[in-house]
Homo-oligomer: A and B are copies of this chain.
Amino acid sequence: MTSTTNFSLSPLYIILDPSVCPERPLVEVLTVAAEAGAVLFQYRNKTASMKEAYVEALALRQAAAKAGVLFIVNDRCDLALAVDADGVHLGQGDLPLDLARKVMGPNKLIGISTHNPDQVRAASAGKPDYLGFGPIFPPGSKRDHDPVVGLEGLRAIRAVTSLPIFAIGGIQIGQVGDVMEAGADGIAVISAILKAADIREAVRTFLSRMPTPASPAS
Chain A positions near chain B (C-beta within 8 angstroms)? 49-52, 54, 75-79, 81-82, 92-96, 99-100, 102-103
B residues in contact with A51, CB < 8 Å: 92-96
Closest beta carbon of chain B to A72's beta carbon, Å: 15
SS of A interface (majority): helix
Closest beta carbon of chain B to A126's beta carbon, Å: 13
With A51-B93, A51-B96, A77-B82 already in contact, 6 other A-B pairs whose C-beta atoms are closer than 8 Å: A50-B95, A54-B96, A79-B95, A81-B103, A82-B102, A82-B103
A78→B95 contact, CB < 8 A: yes
CA A161 to CA B8, docked complex, whole Å: 51
Most chain B beta-carbon contacts within 10 A, residue among A77, A94, A96: A77
CA A79 to CA B99, docked complex, whole Å: 9
B residues in contact with A92, CB < 8 Å: 51
Closest beta carbon of chain B to A47's beta carbon, Å: 12
Q: Which of B50, B77, B93, B100 contacts A94 (CB 8 A)?
A: B50
Closest beta carbon of chain B to A213's beta carbon, Å: 31
CA A99 to CA B55, docked complex, whole Å: 11
